[in-house]
Amino acid sequence: MGWKSVAAGGALTLAGAMTLAVGVSVGGEAAHDPDRPVRSEPGGSQSSSIVQGIAGRLVTASGHPVAGARITAQSLDPTGGPIPEIAILSDAEGRFDWPLRPGRYRLAALIDGREVAAATAVVEPHRVSTLELSATP
């Protein structure tokens, strides 16, 4: 699994590692309220090399991966600092890994400049939150 930094234009290859996670669907009939936070919890099985941040996957309503979508993050904390990357891209499997500082974030998936999914996630110290975003047509 890999992620690409849009701001730097480079690519990193990420190796597998166990994460602590919980999933959430966004969009379609199983829409998640993007203002309700998703918190990381033990027991997830998604592999990621990050030790803190958000590991996610963007899929269509039928469950097919969405590659090349631009994923953006916005800090929702009043004291939240700048986020190092402007955006990251989903890989061929629709996956993305984003190391982020602890805090509350709004993540949005964009295709051709149009938001197709969004969710709020909470990153806790030394934990990885996972999201499964379902793109709306």
In DSSP notation, 13-77 reads E----B--------SSTT---TTSEE---TT---B-S-SSEEEEEEE-TTS-B--S-EEEEEE-S
Task: Using the predicted structure, report yes or no on whether residue 72 has a pLDDT greater than 90.
Answer: yes
List strands edge to edge, sheet with 95-99: 95-99, 53-59, 128-134
Structure tokens at 69: 């979508």
> Which percentage of the chain shows pLDDT scores above 90?
54
Mean predicted confidence (pLDDT) in 43-59 = 77
Task: Using the predicted structure, report yes or no on whether residue 118 has a pLDDT greater than 60.
Answer: yes
Confidence at 48, pLDDT banded by 50, 70, 90 = low
Confidence at 47, pLDDT banded by 50, 70, 90 = low
Confidence at 127, pLDDT banded by 50, 70, 90 = very high
Structure tokens at 72: 């953006």
Confidence at 83, pLDDT banded by 50, 70, 90 = confident
Domain ranges for the chain, please list them. 2-134
User: Bigger pLDDT: 132 or 46?
Assistant: 132
First to last CA, the chain: 25
Please report where in the chains the tokens 């993050």 appear, as a residue: 73
Q: Is the pTM of this model over 0.85?
A: no
Q: Which of 23, 19, 38, 17 is nearest to 128 (CA)?
A: 19
CATH value of 2-134 in 3.80.10.10, 2.60.40.1730, 3.40.50.300, 2.60.40.10: 2.60.40.10
Longest dimension (CA), the chain: 38
